[in-house]
Amino acid sequence: MDFANVDKRLLSLKCDPDRILELRAEWPDAVLPGYYSDGRTWISVDLDADLPEGLVLDLCDMSYELVFARLSKRVRSEIAGG
């Protein structure tokens, strides 16, 4: 673990691997490999960095969709209310 990031407020999100490469290239100090998770498919976003709010919200939506898609059909149905 990189203890230089201990004081940062990080949000871990599931992300498309190709998108991770783009984000890390564009925002190297704000989009970090996922801590305590698979860095190939998870990122940690520094909430104190100067990331556009819309980008963070889009990443949250993508993360939800990726995680939701991996749930069983029964669980997806329960969450969807039916």
Amino acid at 62: M
List Cβ neighbours of 54 (8 Å cut-off, separation of 6 or more): none
State the pLDDT at residue 36: 87
| 7-45 residue pLDDT tens | 789 999 999 999 999 999 999 999 999 988 898 999 999
Whether the CB-CB separation of 55 and 46 falls below 8 Å is answered with no
- Which residue would you say has higher pLDDT here, 78 or 8? 78
Domains, in order of start, for the chain: 3-80 (3.90.1150.30)
Contact between residue 70 and residue 41 where contact means Cβ atoms under 8 Å apart: no
**47-67 confidence digits (pLDDT tens):** 999 999 999 999 999 999 999
Farthest-apart Cα atoms in the chain, separation: 45
Look up tokens 């991996």; give the residue.
Answer: 70
Supply the pTM of this predicted model.
Answer: 0.84
